[in-house]
């Protein structure tokens, strides 16, 4: 059953009033593929806009906190932890991971996915002048813990 649809099929925000506060955590990832020269520029600190990874990290953190403003029917959450990491993988890819945590009545999957996505978009925005062909790919939930549905881990 889709929880955001009522018995008539109308969209609604899920009522979590009676749900217990539990520790919840989710991790998501996104990948950005680019020209090797673009990645070298980022790694060597030669980008004219500054530290690309630092700006993308901050954008991801800010996005997680605003997920409820971006995704209809998401609850505003008091996140207690947000960690966004960017790392070069090989000569032409960046892996972005985002982990969100809270003690609350609903999960943080959308916050982690939003953080990873916006960090990837920020990376693209900062580097588009030198590489318009970058590819954002494989945005997915890696793991979630807590809540009624329990633990989930994506296949490798």
Count of structural domains, the chain: 1
Q: What CATH number corresponds to the domain at position 41?
A: 3.30.70.640
Which distant-in-sequence residues (6+ apart) come within 8 Å of 14 by Cβ? 3, 4, 73, 75, 106
Q: In this structure, is residue 131 part of a structural domain?
A: yes
Q: In this structure, is residue 16 part of a structural domain?
A: no
- 74 assigned to a ligand binding site: yes
Q: In this structure, is residue 151 part of a structural domain?
A: no
Q: Active site residue: 6, 92, 125, 155, which one?
A: 125
Tell me the CB-side half-sphere exposure of residue 77, using CA atoms within 13 A: 34
pLDDT of residue 142: 98
Task: Mark whether 51 is an active-site residue.
Answer: no
Q: In this structure, is residue 61 part of a structural domain?
A: yes
Q: In this structure, is residue 4 part of a structural domain?
A: no
Q: In this structure, is residue 152 part of a structural domain?
A: no
- 37 assigned to a ligand binding site: no
- Closest by Cα among 9, 26, 6, 12 to 149: 26
Q: In this structure, is residue 58 part of a structural domain?
A: yes
- 100 assigned to a ligand binding site: no
93 bridge partner residues: 33, 89
CA distances from 133 to 9, 30, 62, 91 (A): 40, 16, 26, 15
pLDDT of residue 65: 98
Question: Domain range holding 33?
Answer: 23-146
Strand spans (E) along 37-151: 81-89, 93-104, 135-145
Q: In this structure, is residue 54 part of a structural domain?
A: yes
Three-class SS of residue 123?
Answer: helix
pLDDT of residue 5: 65
Distance CA 107, CA 90 (A): 33
Read off the pLDDT of residues 95-104 as tens digits, 9 standing for 90 and up.
999 999 999 9
Q: Would you say 62 and 93 are in contact if contact means Cβ atoms under 8 Å apart?
A: no
Local mean pLDDT, 10-residue blocks, the chain (156 residues): 69 78 95 97 82 97 97 92 98 98 93 98 96 97 91 93
């Amino acid at each position: 059953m889709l929880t955001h649809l009522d018995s008539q099929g109308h969209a609604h925000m899920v009522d979590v009033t009676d749900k217990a506060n539990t520790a919840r955590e989710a991790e998501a990832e996104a990948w950005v593929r680019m020209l090797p020269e673009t990645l070298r520029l980022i790694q060597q600190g030669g980008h004219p806009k500054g530290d690309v990874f630092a700006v993308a990290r901050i954008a991801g953190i800010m996005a997680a906190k605003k997920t409820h403003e971006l995704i209809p029917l998401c609850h505003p959450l008091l996140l207690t932890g947000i960690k966004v990491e960017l790392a070069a993988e090989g000569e032409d890819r960046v892996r972005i991971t985002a982990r969100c945590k809270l003690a609350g009545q609903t999960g943080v999957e959308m916050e982690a996915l939003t953080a990873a996505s916006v960090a990837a978009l920020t990376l693209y925005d900062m580097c588009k002048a030198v590489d318009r062909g970058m590819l954002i790919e494989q945005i997915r939930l890696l793991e979630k813990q807590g809540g009624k549905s329990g633990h989930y881990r994506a296949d490798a």
